[in-house]
Amino acid sequence: MTVEVPRRAAAGGFQSQINVMAALFMREMLTRFGTSRTGYVWLLAEPMILATAISTMHYASGHELPNGLPIFLFYAMGYTPFLMFRSVVTRGSNAIKGNMSLLFHSRISLLDVMLARNLMEVVICCAVVTVFLTISSVFFGEVPEQPGLLVAGLLMSALLAHGLSMVIASLQVVLEWVEHLVHPFTYLMMPFSATFYMLDSMPPGTRELLLWNPLVHVHELNRWAIFGDRLVAYYDISYLLAWILGLNLLGLAGLRVARPRLSLSD
């Protein structure tokens, strides 16, 4: 038996939407980390361990950064936002497939399940960033030069990833094989996203090519927000916003196209 997935009911109001989102968010948390305290500790520990390990490897290599930039903070704050981007894209793009049973309820839309899952990944990353910055501030006296700009940079990275995850999720409804390309794609993006290096250290020709990647602008913006004029940053906020707007509009259109193609089979 095959049942068509219903569309959201017209009635409900804003409060109803908030309740749906809160319930979906809690479901995502419980599904991923369980009900034990260990699961929630691991929620923060996993990205912190990964970021710390990569930072330690670069520190052990003996390569110094210009103008006395702190090695640990430089690499940790490069990897953590990229980890958020990658997590949102990879996990968010599977949100439809992982929540098919919930879509039988007319109050739950495709956008709801994607927002709930992606929001969880963003909250995790922001918590890790807060921990890193607190440690750097208290123990090493490294305070972000422009905290507001850093928040904006993380928000733009999240919106960029959310838009891309919607596009990929929509494609997977029509082309199932797209799912197998997501993980390799996100891994291959790392060396081309200025995650662990500054554009100022690149030859001009290479720099111009890398600047076509919107993630490069995010990392350069974040570094400028943290370290200020101790480095030379290359980023264009208008270019970033154009990518964010384009991907999110394309993703929303894709979800509208994908919804009628979904069905619940038992």
Gap between the terminal Cα atoms of the chain: 6
**Residue 3 confidence (pLDDT):** 46
Where is mean pLDDT largest: 31-35, 125-129, 155-159, 175-179?
Answer: 155-159
Residue 3 lies inside a defined structural domain of this protein: no
**Residue 94 DSSP class:** T
Task: Render pLDDT for 17-27 as a digit per residue (tens, 0 to 9).
Answer: 777 777 777 77
Residue 2 lies inside a defined structural domain of this protein: no
Least confident of 1-5, 55-59, 60-64, 115-119: 1-5
**Residue 106 DSSP class:** T
Per DSSP, the three-state class of 4 is strand
pLDDT over 80 at 2, yes or no = no
Can you give the residue range of the structural domain that contains 232?
A: 9-265
Domain count, the chain: 1
Rounded percentage of the chain residues whose pLDDT exceeds 90: 26
pLDDT over 70 at 97, yes or no = yes
Residue 4 lies inside a defined structural domain of this protein: no
Residue 30 lies inside a defined structural domain of this protein: yes
pLDDT over 90 at 211, yes or no = yes
Least confident of 44-58, 71-85, 150-164, 214-228: 44-58
Task: Render pLDDT for 63-73 as a digit per residue (tens, 0 to 9).
Answer: 777 777 888 88
In which band, very low, low, confident or very high, does the pLDDT at 1 lie, cut at 50, 70 and 90?
A: very low
In which band, very low, low, confident or very high, does the pLDDT at 7 lie, cut at 50, 70 and 90?
A: low
**What does the mean pLDDT of the chain come to?**
82
Give the side-chain half-sphere CA count within 13 A for 168. Answer: 26
Question: Between residues 7 and 131, which one has the greater pLDDT?
Answer: 131
pLDDT over 70 at 150, yes or no = yes
Question: Between residues 249 and 49, which one has the greater pLDDT?
Answer: 249
**Residue 165 confidence (pLDDT):** 92
- Angle between helical axes of 147-174 and 237-258 (0-180°, round to 10): 30
Q: Indicate whether this model's pTM tops 0.95.
A: no
Which tokens is 176 given? 């199932």
**Does residue 189 contact residue 215 with C-beta atoms inside 8 Å?**
yes
Write the DSSP string, 37-78: HHHHHHHHHHHHHHHHHHHHHHHHTTPPPGGG--HHHHHHHH
Least confident of 30-34, 50-54, 76-80, 203-207: 30-34
pLDDT over 90 at 157, yes or no = yes
> In angstroms, rounded to a whole number, what is the distance separating the alpha carbons of residues 18 and 248?
21
Question: Between residues 150 and 12, which one has the greater pLDDT?
Answer: 150
> In angstroms, rounded to a whole number, what is the distance separating the alpha carbons of residues 149 and 151?
5
> In angstroms, rounded to a whole number, what is the distance separating the alpha carbons of residues 8 and 20?
12
**Residue 238 confidence (pLDDT):** 96
> In angstroms, rounded to a whole number, what is the distance separating the alpha carbons of residues 20 and 14?
10
Residue 1 lies inside a defined structural domain of this protein: no
**Residue 13 confidence (pLDDT):** 60
**Residue 154 confidence (pLDDT):** 92
